[in-house]
Structure 1
């Protein structure tokens, strides 16, 4: 073998402690994303009258190696403190950009989700999410260890400040996702069912308020509940893609509905997969996402360190729930949310943020070698030491 278990090198230690199967699964998703981008993006570029019909494909090819390097670099981290510093930088920097977006951002489809940095356009909320999860996990765990710290209250302040900016954009899909992640972490940290019930009640009131005051929220919910009475152009086309694709699909590049889907390369790329690769191809994509999600959850429930347990759980829910919400919308099982499919949808912000998320997960789930695998006369670095 090229890498011996007794090798003391830094790379060898990483190789034998990182979850290589999950890393491979993420690379597979990136490759699938590039294939689907080649299928869907040119039609979108032509419809937008862009001079280069391969524009979105080229952008995706530029971001992919950067995303892979991010995953690998972050997965090498063995310091719990460094993980927290990265999370703090992501949260603070992202929140500043979120506020800048509300004041000076680019309005796209009625929302101020994007910030122009000159050389690229960024969606700050994508980068705040992993930072928010790690910081909340640390506050929850510190609150459990040192009750005087009031970790639950401090985490709630972070949560409230983040979702307030998301609501102001407005971005109700991300608001719901972040809320679900935070509630799950709050529950795992020992919150009473009464507190959770009260919080969920407040969330329900907030949803009712959004439905009655935000026209686009009402339109999406009404369209889902009463499809015959509303215009569900993209969702209807998406469902038609799966019907036309059948079990085995029409073949790579042979789909036709993508030329009519405005977001065929982003939010509805799963529909393109359905038409070109059929139900079988889509089930394989679902299987890869399920493997990654359940594998990380298995790690979460096997660790005793509360910070790691909460961090892994929160980041995994963030990753898995976003994937299954996107696929659910494409299949008309959920109201439209405007969420991308991790590692598959085109878009630099989504790809980079998911690379950071998975990199952190791989760092947090680095295995402790068994005694018989330790180098003779020495030992591996302990993964994620405080």
Structure 2
């Protein structure tokens, strides 16, 4: 038992971190282990691998991911800003390297292999980008004369340009939505928000006209008979098959034919084997984490902590919402993992880094002695 009277880094962390939010994240990680065991063996067998290949890798990546999450949650806001700057710089360098020497898979260059490990640098760039943007927006509220908003816009254009070159329009859309949310949370004028929404819509329309891959997905969503909709149709059928309580562990049918049942469509496998009830539980966990983080963020007096924690919560929630919406055919298909549930090394570790920063920024930090002295002096002067 950790005592409140102990003045150690561990005790201070334990009594200031949001333990309910931490518990919800751990439950998601455990659910990811169970669903990986349910969804991945058929995929591994189809491509000639050991049945538990993806499951073993999923569990293996969870170890460094959990370590990263806990370690980052100990950091102070200043340390978080510095780590985000380093992670973002390294991620941008890796994205550029991916564009130059990365292998082309299905017309895209998104992965690079370092020391035998496949890395998708855009995953680690996302949480770091959110924190840096929040830092700039927070500075703009303190020092209006500083061109912080313009710098945040340049940051967005830099990352989005590189993602479009891969191309990865799913991540581009996610990044743009989160940046727009931060822009709104920071109190920018509605005319700017509407203008940015217009630019984003124009960009999506341009992608529809110029990129056949994007046009095909939108057309298949609007008119299923216009192309191959096997994956999304099979995923939706899994929800019907599962009903409220599912067919039972290992009894699912969709995972036997879905190529991405362990990644993009693991939510459909969960619905078929464990039922809609489990899906609602997962949805509730995601909603709880996001709402809890937002409520604690808005209780913070530190503008950077408020903006950064809010942005990270929106990033986490929107990514989950996109994945679940694709599984339910509510939006066009796009390659987006379900946080801590889908298989993926870079994704899991990067998500752990993001929620670790979210936990750190929403900790109840006691007022320092210097702040108390400053308030006391101010009160004396006022009196």
TM-score, normalised with respect to structure 2: 0.94
Q: Residue 241 of structure 1 contacts residue 272 of structure 1 at CA under 8 Å; is this kept in 2?
A: yes
Of the structure 1 ranges 288-297 and 223-232, higher mean CA displacement relative to structure 2 is found in: 223-232
SS in 1 for 2:111: strand
* Cross-structure match for 2:4: 5
Of the structure 1 ranges 118-127 and 298-307, higher mean CA displacement relative to structure 2 is found in: 298-307
Give the whole-Å Cα distance in 2 for the aligned partners of 1:70 and 1:273.
27
In the TM superposition, what is the alpha-carbon distance from 1:109 to its structure 2 partner? 2.6
Q: Residue 253 of structure 1 contacts residue 276 of structure 1 at CA under 8 Å; is this kept in 2?
A: yes
The residue correspondences of 1:306-317 to structure 2 (distance < 5 A) are 306-317=303-314
Q: C-alpha offsets along residues 148-181 of structure 1, whole Å, 9 cap, x if unaligned?
A: 2210000000000000011111111111110011
Q: How many pairs are equivalent?
A: 370
* Cross-structure match for 2:322: 325
In the TM superposition, what is the alpha-carbon distance from 1:200 to its structure 2 partner? 1.4
Q: C-alpha offsets along residues 86-142 of structure 1, whole Å, 9 cap, x if unaligned?
A: 101111000001111111112223211111113110000000011111111111111
Q: Residue 323 of structure 2 contacts residue 336 of structure 2 at CA under 8 Å; is this kept in 1?
A: yes
Which one of the candidate residues 139, 154, 160 is aligned to 1:157? 154
The residue correspondences of 1:143-154 to structure 2 (distance < 5 A) are 143-154=140-151
Give the whole-Å Cα distance in 1 for the aligned partners of 2:367 and 2:284.
30
Give the whole-Å Cα distance in 2 for the aligned partners of 1:209 and 1:6.
60
Q: Residue 83 of structure 1 contacts residue 360 of structure 1 at CA under 8 Å; is this kept in 2?
A: yes
Q: Residue 297 of structure 2 contacts residue 361 of structure 2 at CA under 8 Å; is this kept in 1?
A: no
In the TM superposition, what is the alpha-carbon distance from 1:312 to its structure 2 partner? 0.8
Q: C-alpha offsets along residues 17-46 of structure 1, whole Å, 9 cap, x if unaligned?
A: 001111111111111111111111110011
Give the whole-Å Cα distance in 1 for the aligned partners of 2:137 and 2:100.
32
* Cross-structure match for 1:382: none
Give the whole-Å Cα distance in 1 for the aligned partners of 2:136 and 2:285.
32
Give the whole-Å Cα distance in 1 for the aligned partners of 2:176 and 2:28.
26
In the TM superposition, what is the alpha-carbon distance from 1:203 to its structure 2 partner? 1.3
In the TM superposition, what is the alpha-carbon distance from 1:248 to its structure 2 partner? 0.4
Which one of the candidate residues 258, 264, 278 is aligned to 2:275? 278
Q: Residue 65 of structure 2 contacts residue 349 of structure 2 at CA under 8 Å; is this kept in 1?
A: yes
In the TM superposition, what is the alpha-carbon distance from 1:76 to its structure 2 partner? 1.0
The residue correspondences of 1:288-367 to structure 2 (distance < 5 A) are 288-367=285-364
In the TM superposition, what is the alpha-carbon distance from 1:301 to its structure 2 partner? 1.7
Q: Residue 144 of structure 1 contacts residue 151 of structure 1 at CA under 8 Å; is this kept in 2?
A: no
* Cross-structure match for 1:223: 220
* Cross-structure match for 2:377: none
Give the whole-Å Cα distance in 1 for the aligned partners of 2:243 and 2:103.
39
Give the whole-Å Cα distance in 2 for the aligned partners of 1:310 and 1:34.
32
* Cross-structure match for 1:383: none
Q: Residue 106 of structure 1 contacts residue 116 of structure 1 at CA under 8 Å; is this kept in 2?
A: no
Could you list the runs of 5+ residues in structure 2 that have no partner in the other structure?
373-383
* Cross-structure match for 1:95: 92
TM-score, normalised with respect to structure 1: 0.93
Give the whole-Å Cα distance in 2 for the aligned partners of 1:141 and 1:9.
31
- 1:207 lines up with 2:218 in the alignment: no
* Cross-structure match for 2:56: 58
* Cross-structure match for 2:117: 120
* Cross-structure match for 2:102: 105
- Over aligned residues, Cα RMSD in angstroms? 1.6
Could you list the runs of 5+ residues in structure 1 that have no partner in the other structure?
380-386
In the TM superposition, what is the alpha-carbon distance from 1:303 to its structure 2 partner? 1.5
- 1:178 lines up with 2:175 in the alignment: yes
Of the structure 1 ranges 253-262 and 297-306, higher mean CA displacement relative to structure 2 is found in: 297-306
SS in 1 for 2:112: strand
